Structures are given as C-alpha cells and as structure tokens.
C-alpha cells in the first residue's frame, strides 16, 4: 500500500486561521500588534522568495512586518547597527536575519547580536542552548518545530522509536535531533561523511532528510512503513525537488511529506507562531 501523504499545506492553513484569531484577540485585549522585522542582505533568489513569503504570511494573519532589503555589499557594521535598532524598537517583537549572509559578514556575529527574546528563528546560542538542555520555553527553530507539529497532527508516536536525521545543520538537523531526543526517540544524526548511509537509514522508524541533495533518499534506503520527512528544497530547472525520491519511497514508506506542500508551509507558520509568542513575552 502506498504511503499516506502528509499534507503540510492543510495543517498550515488550519494553524494560520487559528493565528488570525489569536492576533485579533491580542490586539483587542492587550492593545499589542505583534511585529516582525525581516532582514535580507543581498539578492540570492531563493532568499528573496522566502522573505517575500514571510512578508505575505505575516500580513495574512495580521502581524505587522518590516522588511529590510540591503544590498549585497552592505558592511557588517551597518547590519549590526540595524539589528541594534530593531532590538530597541518597541513595535518589533521578532527579528529574523535571512541566511545565508554574504561571505564578508560573520553570520555568527549577526545572530548573536539579536536580542534572544526577539530571536524568533531560535538560532541565538542562548535559545539553542536552552533547546539542548531540554528547555523548550525559548524559541524553537521553525523548520524542526513545524515537523514536530506535522508528526503530532498525524498521531505518530515518537517515544521509543528509532529516528534518523540526515543533515547536521544548525537550522534543521541539530535542533530536530534534540527535539526528537527529548520526546524519547533513539536518535542518529547522519551527514556527508557517514559510511554506509543506507544501512543507517533503513533502521529508521522516522527518517528526516535535510541535506539539500535531490533524491538522495531512494526506496531501498527506507524501512517499510517508516515515516519519511523531506526537508529538501532543491531547484532543478525551475522545479522544486526534494531530498527524497518521492515516487520510489511512497511505495515503501507508511507516511511521506511531498515537496512542495509538506514541510515548507509549516516553517513559515511556526515563524508566525514564534512572533506571536515573542509579542506576549
Ligand atoms: N535560511 C534557510 N532557512 C532559514 C530560516 O529558517 N531562517 C533564516 N533566517 N534563514 C534561513
């Protein structure tokens, strides 16, 4: 039997509708309009698309948004001073610096400059540190958080299961691994130097791929009935291709997320969620 397809768009729409009401309620009861600032440096086409989507999604739920589009040559000091201003701005509750940054800017320095209480991406070492020690009261990075919501919504049991995360990025792989660990999965992280990758992935009850390599996860790398989550967004000839060979894997897996329409819509939804939480803090 073919896998059940996990519809990220449907859950994202449902959650965003609930956020519309939440924003309205906060406006009426507290007189606060949640505010998000998004900073984009340079003109990477994918980043521009993501930032545009974040702006539109914010407007849809009633979040006030400011977008800073800075030229690629912007000096590091200029970016840091904009972050300083946003840290002080009472109307801005969430700050997001779109990654990757141009090579002349120290990404770590930029992230560390954001007030951790406004770090809606959850990338600041304080929030990352909280996550690692199991304190989820800070901000949880949006993509792994969205994946968790997808798993919960499908009623997928995490406790006691073998979870394999392919990819060790700070944005997805590492925070995903800790979120699963804290829900009592047995977690393995794989990466570009992992030997015999398919032997590891075949053990997974929950397999999450976040490497950005088109179709590296094939049908014979998946345990029958497994949950397969595809975080890859690879552009090939104007088409979006996931890390997972969907047509092969859907014949083996129990659940699978499509690309597009799986994880992507949830990432932005969790950004909106985190911005609202930031406004309430
Ligand atoms: N680049 C790719 N994903 C993300 C994300 O979730 N947040 C930011 N700021 N940049 C990204």
Task: Say if ligand 1 is within 6 A of residue 171 CB.
Answer: yes
Task: Say if ligand 1 is within 6 A of residue 99 CB.
Answer: yes
pTM greater than 0.85 (yes/no): yes
Q: What is 31-116's CATH topology?
A: Rossmann fold (3.40.50)
Which residues form the catalytic set? 54, 98, 121
Per-residue confidence band for 166, with pLDDT thresholds at 50, 70 and 90: very high
| Ligand 1, atom 8: closest residue by C-alpha | 98
Task: Say if ligand 1 is within 6 A of residue 243 CB.
Answer: no
The yes-or-no answer to whether 31-116 and 142-264 have a common fold is: yes
What separation in Å is there between the alpha carbon of 171 and the centre of ligand 1?
Answer: 7
What separation in Å is there between the alpha carbon of 121 and the centre of ligand 1?
Answer: 7
Closest ligand 1 atom, residue 100 Cα: 1
Higher-scoring residue by pLDDT: 163, 237 = 163
Distance (Å, rounded) from C-alpha 261 to C-alpha 38?
A: 23
What separation in Å is there between the alpha carbon of 106 and the centre of ligand 1?
Answer: 15
- Mean pLDDT on 114-131: 98
Mean pLDDT of the chain: 97
Q: Which residues contact 16 (CB under 8 A, 6 or more apart)?
A: 57, 60, 61, 269, 272
| Ligand 1, atom 4: closest residue by C-alpha | 99
Q: What confidence tens digit (pLDDT) does each residue in 81-120 have? A: 999 999 999 999 999 999 999 999 999 999 999 999 999 9
Task: Say if ligand 1 is within 6 A of residue 119 CB.
Answer: no
Closest CA to 54 of 74, 71, 40, 70: 40
Distance (Å, rounded) from C-alpha 127 to C-alpha 178?
A: 13
Phi and psi (nearest 5°) for 119?
A: -85, 75
Please, which residues bridge with residue 228 across strands? 207, 256
Q: What confidence tens digit (pLDDT) does each residue in 2-60 have? A: 999 999 999 999 999 999 999 999 999 999 999 999 999 999 999 999 999 999 999 99
Per-residue pLDDT at 92: 98
Structure tokens that stand for 200 in this block = 């590891």
Domain boundaries along the sequence of the chain? 31-116, 142-264
Per-residue pLDDT at 69: 98
Per-residue pLDDT at 94: 98
Per-residue confidence band for 1, with pLDDT thresholds at 50, 70 and 90: confident
Q: Which CATH code is given to the segment(s) 142-264?
A: 3.40.50.720
Per-residue confidence band for 184, with pLDDT thresholds at 50, 70 and 90: very high
Task: Say if ligand 1 is within 6 A of residue 98 CB.
Answer: yes
Per-residue confidence band for 238, with pLDDT thresholds at 50, 70 and 90: confident
Q: What confidence tens digit (pLDDT) does each residue in 132-149 have? A: 999 999 999 999 999 999
């Amino acid at each position: 039997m073919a896998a059940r397809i996990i519809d990220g768009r449907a859950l994202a729409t449902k959650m965003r509708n609930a956020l519309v009401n939440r924003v309205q309620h906060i406006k009426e009861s507290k007189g606060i309009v949640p505010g998000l600032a998004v900073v984009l440096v340079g003109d990477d086409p994918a980043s521009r698309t993501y930032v545009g989507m974040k702006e539109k999604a914010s407007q849809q739920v009633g979040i006030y948004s400011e977008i800073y589009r800075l030229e690629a040559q912007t000096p590091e000091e200029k970016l840091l001073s904009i972050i300083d201003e946003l840290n002080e701005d009472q109307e801005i509750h969430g700050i997001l610096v779109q990654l990757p940054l141009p090579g002349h800017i120290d990404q770590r320095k930029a992230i560390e400059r954001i007030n951790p209480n406004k770090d809606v991406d959850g990338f600041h070492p304080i929030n990352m540190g909280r996550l690692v020690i199991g304190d989820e009261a800070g901000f949880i990075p949006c993509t792994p958080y969205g994946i968790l919501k997808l798993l919960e919504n499908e009623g997928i049991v995490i406790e006691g299961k073998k979870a394999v995360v392919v990819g060790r990025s700070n944005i997805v792989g590492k925070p995903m691994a800790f979120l699963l660990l804290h829900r009592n999965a047995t977690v393995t992280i794989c990466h570009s130097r992992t030997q015999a990758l398919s032997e590891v992935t075949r053990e997974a009850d929950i397999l999450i791929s976040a490497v950005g390599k088109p179709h590296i996860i094939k049908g014979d790398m998946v345990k029958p009935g497994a949950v397969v989550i595809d975080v890859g967004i690879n552009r090939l000839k104007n088409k979006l291709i996931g890390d997972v060979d969907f047509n092969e894997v859907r014949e083996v897996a129990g659940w699978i997320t499509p690309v597009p329409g799986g994880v992507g819509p949830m990432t932005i939804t969790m950004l909106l969620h985190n911005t609202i939480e930031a406004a309430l803090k």
